[in-house]
């Protein structure tokens, strides 16, 4: 009869937990506990690479703009682009929470397959380059980056990031945190149908819009100043106090630029997507940022981050576009403190496409 030794007990407990965890992958069970469609965005971008490569092979084609960014650069509408800028076509590789390590993953795919669009614009934000946020986000790393990429750039990631990545790759319950109330609600056929339709709709829109997810309601929104102000303060506390620039984020971004230049892409640019005046004001005025090399002085987020972005662009001889301070939006409707309303998307689109040479 098998009798485990004390040294074997932790291993057996791990094996038992691992096997039980895999029950959550059986059949359609994931539909009962999933609460996000983010994974669809990342899966779609893998297909979008092949669509882009195929399109670039057509003898008669438009010029191609590729955007790599986050949710602040996902809402463009192809119908408007087709009517206003008929010589251009957009392939949008922005994903929720998109950061520079994911940009590098995509750009390396471009290099492997010799994908050469006419322009590549990287949407960059200070929120994605803070090494010490109160609330840490790992969506890109867990959903978007395969193990071989993580291993290749292992020195770029912290121990906490690596252990979190391994844990969420091994255990589905740790990755998705299933909740009983969600599972119970999905037992209702109507609730399940709504969620399935939500997933299907997201997939269809991503396919139709080549990676963008436009909001179709362009009517003038009600300006909710109190809500925007509270949301700006919440974002500030969660992601900017303190603000210590992540040097590895700059390394990732610099690698993206270098590969883009190796591909001889004619126009490469960094751009800062617009945020609400409430959040913009905090980035410009609140003194909470600390430079590691200058412990005796404090700075604003804008002073630290903007200087780095301008320096990176200048050093690499690429363009830098600031749609917050240098070239602010005239349209100032936002659905929250950091996401532009669909009512303003046309002006936002114009700002980007008018930069194309």
Q: Rounded to whole angstroms, how far apart are CA atoms 124 and 284?
A: 17
Q: Is 134 helix (H, G, I), strand (E, B) or coil?
A: coil
Look at residue 284 in the predicted model and tell me its pLDDT: 93
Q: How do the pLDDT tens digits run along the chain, 357 residues long? A: 556 677 677 766 767 666 665 766 676 777 777 777 788 999 999 999 999 999 999 999 999 999 999 999 999 999 999 999 999 999 999 999 999 999 999 999 999 999 999 999 999 999 989 988 888 888 899 889 999 999 999 999 888 889 988 988 888 777 878 888 888 888 888 888 988 898 999 999 999 999 999 876 555 566 688 899 999 999 999 999 888 889 999 999 999 999 999 999 999 999 999 999 999 999 998 876 665 556 656 689 999 899 999 999 999 999 999 999 999 999 988 989 999 998 899 999 999 999 998
CA distances from 8 to 17, 166, 167, 171 (A): 14, 22, 20, 20
Q: Which of 43, 351, 55 is nearest to 206 (CA)?
A: 43
Nearest to 101 by CA among 173, 42, 54, 44: 42
Q: How far apart are CA 106 and CA 110, in angstroms?
A: 6
Q: What is the dihedral of CA 225, 242, 94, 29, to 10 degrees?
A: -90
Query: Residue 129 carries which DSSP code?
Result: G
């Amino acid at each position: 009869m098998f009798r485990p030794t004390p040294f074997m007990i932790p291993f057996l407990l791990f094996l038992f937990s691992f096997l039980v965890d895999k029950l959550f992958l059986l059949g359609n069970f994931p539909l009962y506990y999933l609460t996000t469609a983010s994974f669809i965005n990342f899966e779609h971008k893998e297909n979008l690479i092949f669509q882009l490569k195929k399109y670039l092979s057509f003898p008669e084609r438009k010029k191609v703009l590729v955007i790599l960014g986050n949710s602040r650069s996902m809402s463009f509408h192809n119908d408007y682009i087709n009517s206003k800028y008929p010589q251009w076509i957009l392939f949008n590789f922005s994903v929720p929470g998109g950061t520079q390590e994911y940009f590098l993953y995509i750009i390396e795919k471009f290099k492997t397959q010799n994908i050469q669009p006419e322009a590549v614009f990287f949407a960059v934000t200070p929120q994605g380059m803070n090494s010490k946020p109160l609330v840490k986000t790992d969506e890109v790393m867990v959903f978007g980056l395969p193990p071989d990429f993580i291993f290749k750039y292992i020195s770029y990631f912290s121990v906490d990031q690596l252990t979190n990545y391994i844990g969420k790759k091994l255990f589905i319950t740790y990755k998705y945190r299933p909740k009983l109330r969600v599972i119970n609600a999905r037992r209702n056929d109507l609730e399940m149908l709504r969620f399935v339709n939500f997933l299907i709709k997201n997939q269809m829109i991503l396919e139709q819009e080549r990676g963008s997810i436009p909001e179709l309601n362009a009517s003038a929104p009600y300006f909710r100043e109190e809500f925007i102000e509270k949301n700006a303060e919440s974002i500030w506390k969660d992601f900017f106090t303190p603000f210590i620039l992540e040097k590895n984020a700059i390394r990732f971004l610099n690698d993206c630029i270098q590969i883009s230049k190796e591909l001889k892409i004619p126009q490469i640019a960094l751009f800062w997507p617009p945020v609400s005046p409430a959040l913009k004001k905090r980035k410009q005025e609140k003194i909470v940022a600390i430079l590691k090399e200058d412990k005796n002085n404090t700075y604003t987020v804008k002073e630290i981050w903007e200087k780095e972005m301008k320096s990176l662009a200048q050093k690499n001889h690429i363009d830098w576009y600031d749609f917050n301070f240098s070239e602010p939006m005239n349209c100032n409707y936002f659905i929250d403190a950091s996401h532009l309303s669909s009512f303003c998307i046309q002006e936002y689109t114009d700002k980007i496409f008018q930069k194309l040479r």
